[in-house]
Amino acid sequence: MTAADSLIADIGGTNARFALVGAEGPAHSERVLRCADYPTLTEAARAYLAGQGVRPLNAAFALAGPVTGDRIRMTNLPWEFSIRDVRDALGLDRLDVINDFTAVALGIPELGAADKVQVGDGEPVAGYPVGVLGPGSGLGVSALIPGPGGWTALATEGGHVTMAPITDRESAVLAQLRKTYEHVSAERLVCGPGLVNLYDTLAYLDGLEPEKLTAAEISDRALARRDPVCVEALEMFCAMLGTVAGNLALSIGARGGVFIAGGIIPRFLTAFTHSRFRKRFVEKGRMRDFLGPIPTYVVTHPYPAFLGLAAQVRRPA
């Protein structure tokens, strides 16, 4: 380790993943700390650094939730802090705090060929925007915009756009969910809890009593073809993700490609490549010829947020 090492951290509701990065190369000295073991972010960072024998001058942290100013209140964690105060307490010259999905988006240009799998046809066009979606516990959405100084990742709340049905069956699902939710967003359906919503609603529409299943159990049953409701739920999930991805591509002109990140899709990647995702992505009527050449990828790198944080901390202040 050298004085050039910078500190990065991806902070979730349960764990904080710390690492160091140099001026180039991958992150190293990774360590995961339980957030509940530390009263503050500063204490967690100090505990990590104490075991590394290095005092970084620069750092970049990613966390769930919006970053709109100096004061941060985390959604699923009782940590509230001032970015300026944490920077000073850790003796840093610079501390960047960004949304966790913004970090994922910034990691997309850093992916190698082995870190992604293409779904369908298409070739990226250099110099054009890139779309990024990430179904996980919610639905993250971002866009990478090229510029003279490199890529800019847009921090959006695009997962909360209104979900649009394509088939009569999807219309029935949305109509039923509107009895529970005032606004049926894409995130109500295209994420882990969304898959559960799909399963429960499809079972109800078929006159069945849904079992209390997790998203992982639903996908496992679907892949094993053991439960027709689970099969339909997973198929609809993939198709709806294609709808949302196609809408994003049209909205930002994503001729540079659309990337699907998050931990869900890699669990059933083979099935996903044969799902209705790509068909639904391109089927936008008269815009089919625009969408057809746009490539779509699944990110398989285990920690793309670390790639993005490394890129962020290496940028000139």
Per-residue pLDDT tens digits for 156-208: 889 999 999 999 999 999 999 999 999 999 999 999 999 999 999 999 999 99
Cα dihedral sign, 224-239-63-3? positive
pLDDT, tens digit (0-9, with 9 covering 90-100), for 44-89: 999 999 989 888 999 999 998 788 899 998 866 888 999 999 999 9
- Report d(CA 153, CA 203) in Å as an integer: 39
Do residues 78 and 18 both lie within one domain?
yes
Do residues 156 and 26 both lie within one domain?
no
pLDDT, tens digit (0-9, with 9 covering 90-100), for 88-133: 999 999 999 998 899 999 999 999 999 999 999 999 999 999 999 9
Do residues 133 and 64 both lie within one domain?
no
Q: Is 50 annotated as a binding residue?
A: no
Task: Grade residue 4 by pLDDT with cuts at 50, 70 and 90.
Answer: low
Q: Is there a domain that residue 107 lies in? A: no
Residue 1 has pLDDT above 50, yes or no: no
pLDDT, tens digit (0-9, with 9 covering 90-100), for 237-290: 999 999 999 999 999 999 999 999 998 999 999 999 999 999 999 999 999 999
Q: Is 37 annotated as a binding residue?
A: no
Q: Is 105 annotated as a binding residue?
A: no
Q: pTM, whole model, 2 decimals? A: 0.90
Do residues 11 and 155 both lie within one domain?
no
| pLDDT given for residue 74 in this prediction | 80
Do residues 81 and 179 both lie within one domain?
no
- Report d(CA 299, CA 272) in Å as an integer: 13
Q: To which H or E segment does residue 275 belong? A: none
Provide mean pLDDT across the span 126-144. 94
* Tokens encoding 248: 């994003």
Do residues 65 and 83 both lie within one domain?
yes
CA distances (Å), origin 311, targets 75, 172, 272:
25, 44, 29
Q: Is there a domain that residue 106 lies in? A: no
* Tokens encoding 297: 């990828």
Do residues 309 and 173 both lie within one domain?
no
Q: Is 9 annotated as a binding residue?
A: yes
Residue 2 has pLDDT above 70, yes or no: no
Cα dihedral sign, 298-299-305-310? negative
Do residues 77 and 126 both lie within one domain?
no
Do residues 124 and 95 both lie within one domain?
no
Q: Is 14 annotated as a binding residue?
A: yes
- Report d(CA 98, CA 162) in Å as an integer: 25
Instruction: Find the DSSP H helices in 178-213.
Output: 192-205
Do residues 133 and 270 both lie within one domain?
yes
Q: Which domain does 211 fall in, by range?
A: 112-300
Do residues 310 and 277 both lie within one domain?
no
Residue 12 has pLDDT above 90, yes or no: no
